[in-house]
């Protein structure tokens, strides 16, 4: 499960920020997770829970918000959100073209906010 290593990296980033800003307690972390990022949100939240049972992040909650996949059709330039993030199931909702789309959102993953004191 690579979600554990991702959770460890997030924890490391947050601990660095805690040190830089003189913070002692984190209550909540909001993470944005794109649909194509390859990270299972529930598994990441579980990994966070296990990882933060003790230490400086004990008691903190990881809130994972999904970023939908949005594509721009290479043929007609229509922007759309496919039902399935699998290439052969992503025809343009305007013209039906299946190839040549540009990903506008859904690949990213980032820490959106940290509630701390």
Both tokens assigned to 93: 């909702």
In this prediction, residues 9-26 reach a mean pLDDT of: 96
DSSP symbols for 57-112: TTT-EEEEEEEPPEEE-TTT--EE--SS-SGGG---TTT---S--EEEESS-EEEE
In this prediction, residues 24-30 reach a mean pLDDT of: 96
Dist. CA 5–CA 7, nearest whole Å: 5
pLDDT digits (tens, 9 = 90+) for 61-105: 999 999 999 999 999 999 999 877 665 578 999 999 988 999 999
- Check residue 95 and give its pLDDT: 96
Q: Where are the domains of the chain?
A: 3-67+106-116
- Check residue 90 and give its pLDDT: 85
Write down the mean pLDDT value for the chain: 93
Q: What is the CATH number of domain 3-67+106-116?
A: 3.30.2320.50
pLDDT at 16 over 60: yes
């Amino acid at each position: 499960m690579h979600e554990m290593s991702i959770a460890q990296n997030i924890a490391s980033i947050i601990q660095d920020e805690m040190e830089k800003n003189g913070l002692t307690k984190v209550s909540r972390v909001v993470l944005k997770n794109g649909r194509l990022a390859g990270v299972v949100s529930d598994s990441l939240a579980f990994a966070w829970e296990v990882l933060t049972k003790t230490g400086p992040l004990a008691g903190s909650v990881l809130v994972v918000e999904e970023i939908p996949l949005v594509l721009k059709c290479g043929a007609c330039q229509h922007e759309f959100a496919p039902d399935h993030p699998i290439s052969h199931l992503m025809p343009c909702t305007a013209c039906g073209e299946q190839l040549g789309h540009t990903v506008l959102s859904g690949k990213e993953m980032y820490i959106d906010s940290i509630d701390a004191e």
